[in-house]
Amino acid sequence: MIRLFAILSASAALAGCSLAPTYVRPAPPVQSSWPVGDAYLRRSEAALPSVTYRDIFRDPRLQTLIDQSLANNRDLRVAVANIEATRAQYRIQRGDLFPQINASGNYSYRESSRSGVNTGINTGTGAGTGSGTGTGNTGGTGLGGSGVGTGTGGTGTTVVSGANSTFQAQVGVTAFEIDLFGRVRSLTGAALSRYFAQEAAARATRLTLIGDLATAWLSYAADKSLLTVAEQTAVAARNSVRLTDARRRGGVAPRTDVRQAEQILATAEADLAEQRTLLAQDVNVIQLLVGAPVDPALLPGGIEQAARTIGELPAGIDSGVLLRRPDVVQAEYSLRAFNAEIGAARAALFPRITLTGLVGFASTALRTLFTGDAFNWSVAPSASYPIFRAGAGRAGVEYSVAQRDAALATYEQTIQSAFREVSDALARRGTITEQLAANQRFYTAAVDTLNLTNARYRGGIDTYLTSLDAQRQLYSAQRTLVQTQLVRATNLVTLYRTLGGDSLLDVTDQGPKPAAG
C-alpha cells in the first residue's frame, strides 16, 4: 500500500506544467483621462476614493427601498443562484486534479459438480468333463470333451461435487489521469475564471438594480411634482374661466376669452389624468424592483426635495477605474477562461497517461480475510495517443484560439462602451447646472410676466390673448424646470452606475476566492 501511495504522489508531482499562453492583461483601448472641453467637468487624475450607495443616495427612504430590493429582487436571486451553479461546476472540474478513490467489498459463493466413467476387463479360463450314455443297436459308453472360455467386466459412473466461497475487500484508483501536460489543470483554471466572471455578473446585476431603483424613485418624485403643477394649473384655470365668463356676462369680455380660458383648463385636466397614470406606473416599477409591496411613506413628495438628497461622486477619477466595473471584470475573466482552454486543447495533442491501482484482501474464509496472506495489490499504468484524427486535434487548438480572440475583442469593446457611457454622463454633468439655472430664471420671469399681463388685462390695456399666452409660458416653464431637476438627479445616478458604484470597494485583480471544498 505504501508503494501505491508513493506512486500516486509522484504522479501528482509530475502534473505541474501548463501549455496555456501566459495571460497578460490587455492595455485598455481608451485614453487614460476623460475627454476635456467646455462640456466636461475638470477633474484631477487620482484614484477614486471608496464609496457605497449610501454615500450617494442619502435619503433614508430610498436607502430602505434599496435594502429591501437587495433582499427580495428576483433578478438578484437568479444571479446568486448562477454563482452557486458555476462554483459547483468549478469544484466538479477541480476534482479531476485528484484521484478518485473507490472502496468495495463483495462476497461470492460457487457450487459445481462433475461426472466420470469407470471401465474394467475381467478374463477367466474354465475346463469341464462330461459323460454320456448312448443307446443303439449295438450299445456303448463314451468320454466327454474339455473347453476354455473368456469374459469381459462391465462399466460404471462416479459423481464428484464441490462448493467454493470468496470474500474480498478493496480500495482502488481507476484511470486517474497523470496531468503531465496540464490539460486538467487548464480546464480547472478555465472553470475558476468562469466562476469569477459569474460573480462579477452578479455584482453588475446588483449595480443595475440599485441604479434602476434610484431612477424609478426619482421619476416618481418628478411625476409627483408634475401632478402638483397640473393640479395648481387646473385650479387657476377654473378660476380664470369663472372670472372670464362673468366678464362676458357683464359685457366686458368677448366669448373668445372664455373659450381660450377653457383651453388652458382642458390642457391642465388632461395632463392631470396623465400624471395620475404615470404615478401609478411608477409605483408598479418600484414594487417590481423591490420585489415586494412598497410602503407609501417611503415614496418622495416631489423632485425638488428628492433631488437634493442625491450626492456627487468624489473628485479625482481617471479612466483606469473602468477596469473595476463589474461588466469589465466579467469580460476579463471570460477572456482568462478562453485563454486557459487553449492550454487544454494543446495538451490534447500529447499522450494521455492514466493510472489504475488496487489494494485489497481476498480470502475463502471471512475469519482469514484481513490476514497477511490475504493482502494483494496491483498497479496498471496505461498511455494512449491518437495517431490519426484527420486534423481534429489541431482544429481544436485553432478553435480555442479563435474563441480567445473573440473574447479579447469583447473585453476591449466592453471597456470602450464603458468609457463612452462615462464620457456621456460627464458631458451631461458639465452642463446641467447651467441649464438648470437658466430654466430657473425662465420660470421666475414667466411668473412675473403672468402677474403683469393679468394686471394689464384687468386694466383693459392688453387683450386676454396676451394673458393666455403668459399662462401657457408659465405652465411650460414649470414642467421644464421639473424635467431639468430630474435630469440632474438621474445624471448623478448614471455617474454612480457607469463608474462601477459599490464595486470600487473590494474588487482586486485577483478577484474573489471560492470557498474550499
Largest CA distance in the chain: 202
DSSP-derived letter for residue 313 is: P
pLDDT tens digits, 386-436: 888 888 989 999 999 999 999 999 999 999 999 899 889 989 988 999 999
Helix H or strand E segment including 112: strand 101-119
Of 204 and 516, more confident: 204
Any bridge partners for residue 118, and if so which?
A: 156
Report the alpha-carbon distance of residue 334 to residue 198 in Å, rounded: 9
Of 268 and 371, more confident: 268
Q: Say whether pLDDT at 486 is over 60.
A: yes
The pLDDT score that the predictor gives to residue 141 is 39
Pseudo-torsion of CA 51, 55, 60, 64, nearest 10°?
-10
Domain locations along the chain: 2-104+171-504
This model's pTM is above 0.85? no
Report the alpha-carbon distance of residue 356 to residue 379 in Å, rounded: 6
Residue with cell 469589465: 328
The pLDDT score that the predictor gives to residue 509 is 36
The pLDDT score that the predictor gives to residue 16 is 56
Residue 173 has φ and ψ, to the nearest 5°, of -120, 130
The model's confidence at residue 44, banded by pLDDT at 50, 70 and 90, is: very low
Among the ranges given (93-102, 162-171, 332-341, 384-393), the one the predictor scored with the smallest mean pLDDT: 162-171
The pLDDT score that the predictor gives to residue 315 is 58
DSSP-derived letter for residue 381 is: E
Fold of the 2-104+171-504 domain? Outer membrane efflux proteins (OEP) (1.20.1600)
How many of the other CB atoms lie within 10 Å of CB of 182? 22
